[in-house]
Structure 1
Amino acid sequence: MHVVFVRGPTGSIVATVHRADGVSLQLPGYDRKHKVPHDLAHYATERALEMSGGVFGAIAGGGVFSNMRVVGGKPRYDAAARSKRLLDAHRQTLTMAELLAGVVHRAVEDGSPDQTPAMVREAWQSLGSGPFPWTDQHVEDAVRILAELTVEWEAQGAVRVTWPDHLAAELPASRGVKRGRRGRT
């Protein structure tokens, strides 16, 4: 999946997502006050931590958030139902992605990456269960990726990235009525 971040005409950030299924969507950002686009922080964090159930993994898997709009291609006939099922199934990971991307975003925005691994661990503890699933290197990679993308963003006013296919969120099986022949008595 290819994602292009650009500054929109009103100064807000717009990410245009080109999914593998041929559908293109726009994801508006609402962060004119930050030098670093928040959705770019999501990309860097979710990519470095390999969070397939985060924002970009969910979009790659067929999820469409309520603030998104289709700008190209033809969605499947059941796209809305599939999206709802996928987003519902990954709700916890989406919440975690929001929290962790916020920590990484703040670190790059403020220029204070030194405490980021400890802050990410603390954020994890507020919502996660079990042992912390990443190393400090994973977190440092998220900060490094976002810092590099920020330099590109400031220089060009646009960033093009690719979301790996293996990090697309899994669509859970449908729990609908099973169709088929019934046994006769």
Structure 2
Amino acid sequence: MKVTFTRTGERGYAVTAVRPVGDRVRMDPAPGFHTHVPHDLVHFVVERHFGLRDGIFGSLVAGGDAGTFRPVDEPYTKKWGRRNARRTDGVDMQRSEKLARVAQAAWEIRHAAGPVPPGVRAWTDQAGADVDPAALAAVVDLLDEVAVDWHALPVGGSLVLEWP
């Protein structure tokens, strides 16, 4: 599956997925804009790195909508929503959300120009307690790589990634 992260404005982005069956789904606007590592880009990196196959992007591959994506090539109808909603509650969704928050907080700590806000540090200390520190560091390294590409995008620019 090809996943495209598009910078839609100075503080906005969208995510489009071309699924294996050929249809396209899109989330626009996507939540959690960040000039370096937007929230759903963090989800993508985390889910791919940890092998989460039943999170947001696994749900999309399976034909679901992850609760937020809508069809691009056909009108969104209640029937489409019912047909795709059955695959939005994957067993990895909560783990993905937790890992994304921990990874983004760890990335913020790594790149802090000044003192790290206590809330960010507390989140990584509490929520990251069951995350292997080496695995978390590896994810932050991956975020460093995509952050450079994302940050360089102009409004209208896109970053295309392949989902396994």
- Normalising by structure 2, report the TM-score: 0.74
CA offsets 1:80-111 (integer angstroms, 9 cap, x no match): 445332223x1x42122111101111222342
What is the percent sequence identity of the aligned residues?
A: 27
Aligned ranges 1:94-133 → 2 under 5 Å: 94-111=93-110, 119=124, 122-123=126-127
- SS of equivalent to 1:86: coil
- SS of equivalent to 1:64: coil
CA offsets 1:126-148 (integer angstroms, 9 cap, x no match): xxxxxx5x754432222111110
Alignment pair present for 1:140 and 2:137: yes
The equivalent residue for 1:58 is 59
Q: C-alpha displacement at 1:163, in angstroms?
A: 0.5
Counterpart-to-counterpart distance in 1, 2:45 and 2:132: 16
Counterpart-to-counterpart distance in 1, 2:73 and 2:134: 38
The equivalent residue for 1:20 is 20
- SS of equivalent to 1:8: strand
Alignment pair present for 1:4 and 2:16: no
Counterpart-to-counterpart distance in 2, 1:44 and 1:74: 30
- Corresponding pairs, count: 149
Q: Structure 2 vs 1, CA of residues 109 and 13 (structure 1 numbering), >3 Å: closer, same or farther?
A: farther
CA contact (8 A) 2:16 2:26 kept: yes
- Normalising by structure 1, report the TM-score: 0.67
**Unmatched segments (≥5 aa) in structure 1:** 126-131, 165-185
The equivalent residue for 1:156 is 153
